[in-house]
Amino acid sequence: MRGDGDGWVFGSDGSRYWGRHGAAGLLLCAPVDGGVAVLLQHRAIWSHQGGTWGLPGGARDSHETVEQAAVRESNEEAGIDPSMVTVVESIVTHQTPDWSYTTVIATVPTTVTTVGNGESAELRWVPAGAVADLPLHPGLAKAWPDLLLRMG
């Protein structure tokens, strides 16, 4: 389903960003073995920054909050039932004069089953301490140290 946010934004330096109204991703956390696991998406090779691991997420439509966009995208890309998700915090993790990406931290009571769409090569619950060992999307790699601290 295409929304009015789908489309590229081009920065003054020539960089391109997906989401005419910005973008948002869901950092979904679940308790596991005395720690926390997060849901990561291995991005399909054809997608922007394909082959890297990131968060389910994407373009925000004009009528959505960043939280609504992140939860919707996680449902579309990973089959996450929105009624299971409790939003904890939203943080702008990348911003330019023309565009922003917001990471929405949320919880679920357990590592819920996922169902990927064509944008996902794989979906995986990863222990928070092991996330940095994966080839991360550059934006997530840069934001990860601060996000890990915020997760407690």
Give the pLDDT confidence of 116-143 residue by residue, as tens digits: 777 787 899 999 999 999 999 999 999 9
The yes-or-no verdict on residue 48 having pLDDT over 70 is no
Question: Would residue 130 count as lying in a domain?
Answer: yes
Question: Would residue 2 count as lying in a domain?
Answer: no
Taking alpha carbons only, the member of 102, 106, 64 closest to residue 87 is: 106
Residue 151 in tokens: 């997760």
- If one counts the domains in the chain, the total is 1
The yes-or-no verdict on residue 45 having pLDDT over 70 is no
Is pLDDT larger for residue 141 or for residue 44?
Answer: 141
Q: Are strands 16-18 and 8-10 parallel, antiparallel or unpaired?
A: antiparallel
Q: What average pLDDT does this structure show over 70-97?
A: 95
The residue segments making up the domain with residue 18 are 8-150
Question: Would residue 3 count as lying in a domain?
Answer: no
**In whole angstroms, what is the distance from residue 147 CA to residue 37 CA?**
13
Across-strand partners of 125? 39
Question: Would residue 15 count as lying in a domain?
Answer: yes
Question: Would residue 68 count as lying in a domain?
Answer: yes
Please tell me the predicted confidence (pLDDT) of residue 116. 79
Let me know: does 117 contact 93? Beta carbons within 8 Å: no
CATH code at position 41: 3.90.79.10
Question: Would residue 118 count as lying in a domain?
Answer: yes
The yes-or-no verdict on residue 1 having pLDDT over 70 is no
Question: Would residue 113 count as lying in a domain?
Answer: yes
Please tell me the predicted confidence (pLDDT) of residue 44. 67
Q: What average pLDDT does this structure show over 69-78?
A: 95
Please tell me the predicted confidence (pLDDT) of residue 14. 87
Question: Would residue 64 count as lying in a domain?
Answer: yes
Q: What average pLDDT does this structure show over 38-65?
A: 85
Q: Which residue do the tokens 């944008």 mark? A: 119
The yes-or-no verdict on residue 113 having pLDDT over 60 is yes
Q: What average pLDDT does this structure show over 24-30?
A: 97
